[in-house]
Amino acid sequence: MKKDLLKLQDWTKEEIIEILNLGDQLKYEQKHGIEHKYLEGQTLAMIFNKASTRTRISFEVGMKQLGGSALFLSSSDLQIGRGEPIEDTARVLSRYVDGVMIRTYDQKEVEDLAANANIPIINGLTDDFHPCQVLADLMTIREFKSKLEGLKVAYIGDSNNMTNSIMVGCLKVGMDVSVASPKGYMPKDEITGLAQELANESGCKLLITEDIQEAAQDADVLMTDVWASMGQEEEAEERKTIFASYQINDKVMGYAKEDVIVMHCLPAHREEEITGKVFEKYADIIFEEAENRLHVQKAILTTLMKK
């Protein structure tokens, strides 16, 4: 039976840890010149309805390192943009390629693609979830903290697709999660309810608050993202006012543990969601986090597509 990566709530803790372990192994092998052509002769179709830097490059390079190839397909390259049903596109691609990664707006588009394809479908980002990024985040946290269970992650800023996947992914692996967002920009009730269920099951703590200090207090990891995501450009100036105090800066750093690490999924807008000073202090970790997209996605591709 085929398996997809559509959102992290579909995967068990054990499956997530297996991906992280394989990501660590593939990173080691890549750094030491050990070839791992697990997907030799296979092709990944990459559908991009949203612009990308890290997602496109990491998946394309990852497939090459695994011995396969990747096809870049923008919305203008496919008949989807001209009205072909996603169901038909799924059935056609299933006959041509071995897997599909899609980066788009609507989560339903990813779900519909998976429901009608007989090859693995990977969510490279939607407005609701960003599972690949959060798997890379978990890999990075474990790399720098040597563990996941028992740590506290605090996310400060706009409750977006990153927040949703952070809550689910971190709670599943045994981490406490706190989110600080302004009123009106907090996670949707549906995702908060799901996250609370996961917290209850794992015995972890979940906090959703407007209070930045309460969220960041004694955090092991501080995370943030841009205040205006793709598709919200018209709100950018308004959001700068609303989110002005929701910034990772020296004051917020003072609430967290002394050995806290700071992470950002990039691109970063310095002096908005994070000060340039804090960003540069933790730049080595942030860019390791970006690199780990490559390694963890190779683990995802291998797990889902290896014959």
* 8 A C-beta contact, residue 180 and residue 190: no
Q: Measured between alpha carbons, how far is 81 from 55 in angstroms, rounded to an integer?
A: 21
Burial annotation 155-186 (CB, 10 A radius, 16+ → b, else e): bbbbbbbbbbbbbbbbbbbebbbbbbbbeebb
Q: Measured between alpha carbons, how far is 232 from 77 in angstroms, rounded to an integer?
A: 25
User: Which DSSP category does 127 fall into?
Assistant: S
* pLDDT surpassing 60 at residue 253: yes
What is the pLDDT averaged over residues 22-44? 98
- 68-99 pLDDT, tens digit each: 999 999 877 765 655 688 899 999 999 999 99
| Three-state SS at 99 | strand
Q: Does 293 qualify as catalytic in the annotation? A: yes
| Structure confidence at residue 51 (pLDDT) | 82
| Structure confidence at residue 230 (pLDDT) | 64
Q: Measured between alpha carbons, how far is 19 from 247 in angstroms, rounded to an integer?
A: 32
Closest of 166, 160, 45 to residue 105, by C-alpha = 160
User: Which DSSP category does 105 fall into?
Assistant: S
What is the pLDDT averaged over residues 270-278? 98
| Structure confidence at residue 232 (pLDDT) | 72
First to last CA, the chain: 12
Residue 117: pLDDT band by 50, 70, 90 thresholds? very high
Q: Measured between alpha carbons, how far is 73 from 80 in angstroms, rounded to an integer?
A: 11
Is 196 or 75 the better-scoring residue by pLDDT?
196
Is 236 or 145 the better-scoring residue by pLDDT?
145
Q: Does 170 qualify as catalytic in the annotation? A: no
* 8 A C-beta contact, residue 124 and residue 52: yes
Q: What is the CATH number of domain 8-130+293-305?
A: 3.40.50.1370
What is the pLDDT averaged over residues 14-37? 98
| Structure confidence at residue 74 (pLDDT) | 85
Q: DSSP secondary structure string, 187-222?
A: PPHHHHHHHHHHHHHHT--EEEES-HHHHHTT-SEE
Question: Which residue out of 54, 293, 295, 297 is catalytically annotated?
Answer: 293
| Structure confidence at residue 80 (pLDDT) | 60
Closest of 183, 238, 180, 234 to residue 209, by C-alpha = 180
High-pLDDT (> 70) share of the chain, %: 97
Residue 234: pLDDT band by 50, 70, 90 thresholds? confident
Q: Does 133 qualify as catalytic in the annotation? A: yes
For residue 189, the one-letter residue type is D
Peptide bond into 267 cis (omega under 30): yes
* pLDDT surpassing 80 at residue 142: yes
Q: Does 225 qualify as catalytic in the annotation? A: yes
Is 49 or 34 the better-scoring residue by pLDDT?
34
**What does each C-alpha distance from 3 to 102, 115, 279 come to in angstroms?**
15, 11, 37
* Chain Cα centroid distance, residue 12: 16
Question: Which residue out of 4, 9, 98, 130 is catalytically annotated?
Answer: 130
Question: Which residue out of 247, 265, 295, 297 is catalytically annotated?
Answer: 265
Closest of 103, 99, 114, 56 to residue 75, by C-alpha = 103
What is the pLDDT averaged over residues 213-242? 90
Is 284 or 49 the better-scoring residue by pLDDT?
284
| Structure confidence at residue 76 (pLDDT) | 72
Instruction: Give me the chain's average pLDDT, please.
Output: 95
Residue 121: pLDDT band by 50, 70, 90 thresholds? very high
Q: Measured between alpha carbons, how far is 156 from 246 in angstroms, rounded to an integer?
A: 6
Phi, psi of 53 (to 5 degrees): -110, -70
What is the pLDDT averaged over residues 25-35? 98
What is the pLDDT averaged over residues 211-215? 98
- CA angle, 227 as apex, 226 and 231 as ends, to 5°? 90
Question: Which residue out of 42, 65, 225, 264 is catalytically annotated?
Answer: 225
Of the listed ranges 13-22, 42-51, 82-91, 296-305, the least confidently predicted one is 82-91
Question: Which residue out of 54, 103, 239, 295 is catalytically annotated?
Answer: 103
- 146-184 pLDDT, tens digit each: 999 999 999 999 999 999 999 999 999 999 999 999 999
Write down the domain spans for the chain: 8-130+293-305, 133-289
Best CATH choice for the domain 133-289 from the list 3.40.50.300, 3.40.1350.10, 3.40.50.1370, 1.10.10.10: 3.40.50.1370
* 8 A C-beta contact, residue 48 and residue 73: yes
* pLDDT surpassing 70 at residue 105: yes
For residue 140, the one-letter residue type is T
Give just the sign of the alpha carbon dihedral 225, 8, 81, 76: positive
What is the pLDDT averaged over residues 221-227? 97
Question: Which residue out of 9, 133, 247, 297 is catalytically annotated?
Answer: 133
Q: Measured between alpha carbons, how far is 273 from 43 in angstroms, rounded to an integer?
A: 38
Same fold, 8-130+293-305 and 133-289: yes
